[in-house]
């Protein structure tokens, strides 16, 4: 942070103060020492400049190479995890006792009883696959007769011998997943998108023949979900391909591909099995380099440059999964990468032009201001606020404990990082201030002031909370008593009720953003923090600002509908997050866990959480458990309509399970001290 020049009288005073503390005298450095510092610094800068000249492009290429390699590794792990999950689900259905019982009954049933048993079998399998994204299923015998299916009209029909051989070949694989194919190959006269098959053998004791369970998966949906979760840079293109050199995933560049005439069927608004990935420079129509190398050598990379299927110079990495017979490529346009580092080359030239002046200025500044620097830091301030210490740091800002120069009021000052200064970040920072300032509920963090320092630093001041967040509490003490949970949830609902009434959606409700404090002698007073991801659904300009291609928020607390479509956002997304927080407080556990964000997101989309009554060790009021499970329903329409409905139920529950101030005071007196953010003792300014 830039320092404004200090008055000469103040400089002299600081020098005297420092000399007393250090028991030394402030002496002017010798002239020869200054020259020596200048010479050494100049040599270092010249050597650094020469080094940068020869290595800056290479370093940039290595940076991009590492980035796209990371994208590739994430995709490979995600695909393997997805395939393992889907096959595990199919195995669980194929080994169900009820499924085996119904198949035995079917084999010995009369023609009048068969249809009823087929309906029961179809319903049983459909329930078992409810957490899968399959578009449908069928159970058939070895003769190819369909005896259970999501399509009732298909019951009793026969598959062709070629389709039976296809299913048998998939069953015999280690990974029982077929390649991507058109759906009408298996189910004629259908308008389904391209699919992948999961085929599982059902072996029933005492029956002479086996059966097959076949699932149809939407290939574009599965691959797109995995790709979009890890797409961190729009300059990077990612796509899946098969052994025939066909693209088997949707491309976000569909319009560009169509304009280039690369679609096989221009009427289909899809790139799945509709783009042949050929090398434009190949007269023989060979596949692009990643496919050629993947099919012969397996996984690899090329950072020297090659032609993509869209006839661009790119560098990339690729991976081939032989058991799935699919590959994946990550590519970045080489010219765009070089454009990004061109400013660095111009900066290098300017650095040499100013080398002598910068070296001399830096050394003189170092020698003359070295002993003053620590003292001047104590007078660092933004506007009317004096900074004391850093107390937190986030993605775009740093939070300092500060004090108003005149009012002497303790304050938390959030400062926007200069490294993050972009037009969008500044707009988002201003939106956070403006939207939070509109809120006056006592359980919402209060904003005092907002400003811009002379050196271009954006900041805003808010009340300083001496307390702890729910995340720290749960990490140290585990689950909360249900009476205390009800007490805290009522206050959070109060804060959200005001925000929702103004058309504002928080979008990042989670334990670290909910603080407990002693507010004016009231213990367990709640403050809801961090409206940095707030979305104003009543203001079109604000809505446009908060829409991005990435999913904003914390995966464990994001509603499932936002994982599929980040633009879907209303009060029910906050209600889902509130239910997840309640689940965490009551059980000490997250709704879903995983080793990375993708696993958590996939679990939130496909799995049902353990009922809260089973996740807690102590008995829990049935109405509270029901309320929590309604809030975390995967279907938005099944959640409470708004926070006022939740408040009404919490009010009734609080009458049965009160949390008094005497309870809160007793807990704070005995346990709170290690969690509190301490303020160091201060002395009056000299």
* The total number of residues written for the chain in this structure: 686
Domain assignment of residue 452, yes or no: yes
Instruction: Tell me what pLDDT residue 593 has.
Output: 87
Instruction: Tell me what pLDDT residue 151 has.
Output: 82
Tokens of 82: 């997805």
Task: Mark whether 188 and 200 lie in a shared domain.
Answer: yes
Using 50, 70 and 90 to split pLDDT, how confident is the model at 74? confident
Domain assignment of residue 73, yes or no: no
Annotated active-site residue in 508, 524, 530, 642: 508
Domain boundary, last residue among 283, 308, 338: 338
Task: Mark whether 527 and 671 lie in a shared domain.
Answer: yes
Task: Mark whether 307 and 409 lie in a shared domain.
Answer: no
Task: Mark whether 502 and 547 lie in a shared domain.
Answer: yes
Task: Mark whether 500 and 625 lie in a shared domain.
Answer: yes
Task: Mark whether 591 and 479 lie in a shared domain.
Answer: yes
CATH number at residue 230: 3.30.450.20
**What's the rounded mean pLDDT across residues 673-683?**
61
| C-alpha 634: how far from chain center | 18
Domain boundary, last residue among 190, 221, 252: 221
Domain assignment of residue 54, yes or no: no
Domain boundary, last residue among 445, 464, 483: 464
Tens-digit pLDDT profile for residues 240-294? 899 999 998 888 888 889 998 999 998 888 889 999 999 998 888 899 999 999 8
Is 530 labeled as catalytic in the residue annotation? no
What residue numbers bound the domain in which 405 lies? 382-464
Tens-digit pLDDT profile for residues 437-492? 888 999 999 888 877 776 677 888 888 888 999 999 999 999 999 999 999 999 99
Task: Mark whether 391 and 477 lie in a shared domain.
Answer: no
Domain assignment of residue 62, yes or no: no
Domain assignment of residue 437, yes or no: yes
Evaluate whether 330 touches 72 at the Cβ level (below 8 Å): yes
Beta bridge partners of 393: 398
> Is the pLDDT score of 233 beyond 70?
no
CATH number at residue 576: 1.10.510.10
Total number of domains constituting the chain: 4
Tens-digit pLDDT profile for residues 372-410? 544 344 336 677 888 888 887 776 678 888 888 777 788
Task: Mark whether 472 and 553 lie in a shared domain.
Answer: yes
Domain assignment of residue 43, yes or no: no
Instruction: Tell me what pLDDT residue 387 has.
Output: 84
Domain assignment of residue 46, yes or no: no
Task: Mark whether 443 and 481 lie in a shared domain.
Answer: no
Tokens of 222: 């599965």
Task: Mark whether 121 and 209 lie in a shared domain.
Answer: yes
Domain assignment of residue 569, yes or no: yes
Task: Mark whether 212 and 226 lie in a shared domain.
Answer: no
Q: Is 235 helix (H, G, I), strand (E, B) or coil?
A: coil
The region of weakest confidence among 516-525, 549-558, 623-632, 654-663 is 549-558
For residue 176, the number of C-alpha atoms closer than 13 Å in the C-beta half-sphere is 20
> Is the pLDDT score of 29 beyond 80?
no
Task: Mark whether 288 and 401 lie in a shared domain.
Answer: no
| CA–CA gap between residue 643 and residue 450 (Å, rounded) | 30
The residues, ordered by sequence, that sit 6+ positions from 666 with a Cβ below 8 Å of its Cβ are none
Burial 520-537 (b: 16+ CB within 10 A, else e): eeebbbbbbbbbbbbbbe
Instruction: Tell me what pLDDT residue 15 has.
Output: 45
CATH number at residue 396: 3.30.200.20
Instruction: Check residue 673 and report its DSSP letter.
Output: G
**What's the rounded mean pLDDT across residues 8-25?**
42
């Amino acid at each position: 942070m830039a320092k404004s020049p200090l008055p000469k009288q103040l400089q002299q005073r600081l020098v005297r103060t420092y000399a007393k503390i250090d028991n030394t005298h402030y002496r002017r450095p010798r002239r020869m020492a200054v020259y020596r510092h200048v010479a050494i610094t100049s040599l270092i800068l010249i050597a650094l400049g020469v080094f940068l000249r020869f290595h800056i492009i290479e370093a940039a290429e290595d940076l991009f190479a590492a980035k796209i390699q990371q994208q590739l590794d994430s995709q490979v792990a995600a695909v393997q995890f997805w395939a393992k999950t889907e096959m595990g689900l199919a195995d669980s259905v194929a080994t169900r006792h009820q499924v085996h019982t119904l198949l035995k009954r079917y084999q010995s049933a009369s023609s009048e009883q068969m249809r009823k048993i087929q309906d029961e079998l179809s319903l049983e399998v459909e329930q078992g696959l409810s957490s899968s994204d399959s578009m449908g299923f069928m159970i058939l015998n070895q003769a190819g007769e369909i005896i259970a299916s999501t399509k009732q009209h298909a019951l009793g029909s026969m598959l062709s011998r070629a389709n039976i051989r296809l299913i048998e070949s998939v069953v015999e694989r280690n990974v029982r997943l077929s390649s991507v194919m058109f759906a009408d190959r298996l189910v004629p006269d259908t308008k389904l998108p391209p699919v992948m098959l999961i085929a599982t053998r059902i072996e029933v004791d005492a029956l002479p023949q086996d059966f097959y369970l076949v699932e149809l998966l939407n290939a574009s949906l599965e691959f797109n979900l995995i790709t979009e979760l890890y797409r961190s840079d729009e300059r990077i293109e990612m796509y899946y391909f098969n052994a025939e050199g066909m693209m088997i995933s949707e491309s976000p560049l569909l319009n560009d591909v169509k304009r280039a005439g690369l679609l096989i069927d221009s009427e289909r608004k899809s790139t799945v099995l509709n783009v042949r990935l050929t090398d434009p420079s190949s007269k023989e129509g060979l596949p692009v380099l990643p496919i050629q190398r993947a099919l012969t050598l397996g996984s690899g990379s090329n950072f020297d440059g090659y032609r993509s299927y869209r006839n661009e110079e790119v560098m990339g990495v690729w991976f081939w999964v032989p058991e799935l017979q699919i590959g994946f490529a990550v590519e970045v346009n080489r010219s765009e990468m070089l454009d990004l580092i061109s400013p660095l080359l111009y900066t290098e030239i300017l650095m040499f032009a100013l080398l002598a002046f910068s070296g001399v200025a830096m050394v003189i500044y170092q020698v003359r201001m070295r002993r003053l620097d620590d003292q001047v830091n104590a007078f660092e301030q933004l506007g009317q606020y004096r900074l004391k210490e850093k107390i937190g740091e986030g993605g775009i800002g740093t939070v300092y404990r500060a004090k108003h120069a005149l009012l002497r009021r303790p304050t938390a000052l959030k400062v926007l990082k200069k490294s993050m200064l972009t037009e969008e970040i500044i707009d988002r920072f201003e939106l956070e201030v403006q939207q939070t300032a509109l809120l006056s509920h006592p359980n919402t963090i209060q904003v005092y002031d907002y400003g811009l320092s002379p050196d271009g630093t954006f900041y805003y001041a808010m009340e300083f909370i001496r307390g702890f967040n729910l995340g720290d509490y749960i990490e140290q003490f585990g689950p909360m008593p249900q009476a205390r949970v009800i007490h805290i949830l009522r206050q959070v609902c109060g804060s959200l009720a005001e925000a929702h009434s103004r058309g504002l959606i928080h979008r990042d409700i989670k334990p670290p953003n909910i603080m407990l404090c002693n507010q004016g002698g009231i213990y367990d007073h709640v403050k809801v923090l961090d409206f940095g991801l707030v979305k104003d659904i009543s203001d079109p300009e604000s809505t446009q600002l908060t829409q991005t291609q990435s999913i904003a928020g914390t995966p464990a607390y994001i509603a499932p509908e936002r994982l599929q479509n980040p633009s879907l956002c209303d009060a029910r997304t906050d209600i889902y997050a509130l239910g997840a927080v309640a689940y965490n407080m009551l059980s000490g556990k997250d709704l879903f866990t995983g080793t990375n964000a993708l696993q958590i997101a996939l679990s939130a989309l496909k799995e049902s959480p353990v009922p809260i009554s089973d996740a807690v060790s102590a008995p829990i009021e049935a109405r509270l458990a029901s309320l929590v499970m309604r809030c975390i329903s995967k279907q938005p329409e099944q959640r409470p309509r708004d926070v006022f409905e939740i408040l009404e139920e919490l009010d009734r529950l609080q009458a049965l399970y009160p949390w008094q101030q005497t309870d809160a005071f007793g807990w704070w007196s005995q346990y709170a001290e290690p969690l509190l953010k301490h303020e160091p003792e201060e002395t009056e300014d000299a």
